[in-house]
Amino acid sequence: MSLDFLLTTLIIVATPGTGALYTLAAALGGGRRSALIAAFGCTLGIIPHMLAAALGLAALVAAEPRLFELIRFAGIAYLVWMAIGLWRSGLATDTAAEPRREAWRIIRKAVLINLLNPKLSVFFLAFLPQFVQATDPSPLKTMAGLSLVFMAATFAVFALYGMAAATMRQGLVTRPHRMRLVNRILSGGFLLMAGKLALAQR
């Protein structure tokens, strides 16, 4: 594993996207516990894309227009649904549910956010092989190792985002008008991500 891979990975995961945005929303709604759960869920959500890249399935998504478009439109619809939910809510997330059920709900949403983005499969198909030598005797093993490092970096960075947002939660919860404003800003962020995905090309 090279220094170039580590630096590139940190730049990629630190760049705000839908996963980071959802982690912020979860942190503001449920605090540090929700932030860590969301970061974990977002990390889980990239596993299918990495497996697809390692096994060559991502090439099928990139090459088959109908499959790519199906996943893309599902992703757009899901992001719009998330935006509408945040716009209407009083808090960034609903934490009234039983803790275990709430944790699974956060994880499910986080996984779907990444799973329904076909650009991730195409991205990993182009990204991971760059750091595998042509003479590598075990390229799949090397890609698996790189994937684990990428996942660890994703969780760490998203968790930091979430912890930072959670520190601001108390001041927002006691001021409903501020929380409403933050929700609408986050809602706009999800709509922006949906628009970006709508304009995405294979």
Q: What is the pLDDT along the chain (202 residues), one digit of tens a residue?
A: 677 888 888 888 888 788 888 998 888 888 889 999 999 999 998 888 888 777 766 566 556 677 677 777 877 887 887 788 777 765 444 444 567 788 888 999 889 888 887 767 777 777 777 787 777 788 778 888 888 898 999 999 999 999 988 888 766 666 666 667 777 777 787 788 778 777 766 5
Rounded Cα gap, residues 116 and 155, in angstroms: 19
Neighbours of 115 (CB within 10 A): 20
d(CA 13, CA 27): 18
Note if the pTM is more than 0.85: no
Q: Is 122 strand, coil or helix?
A: helix
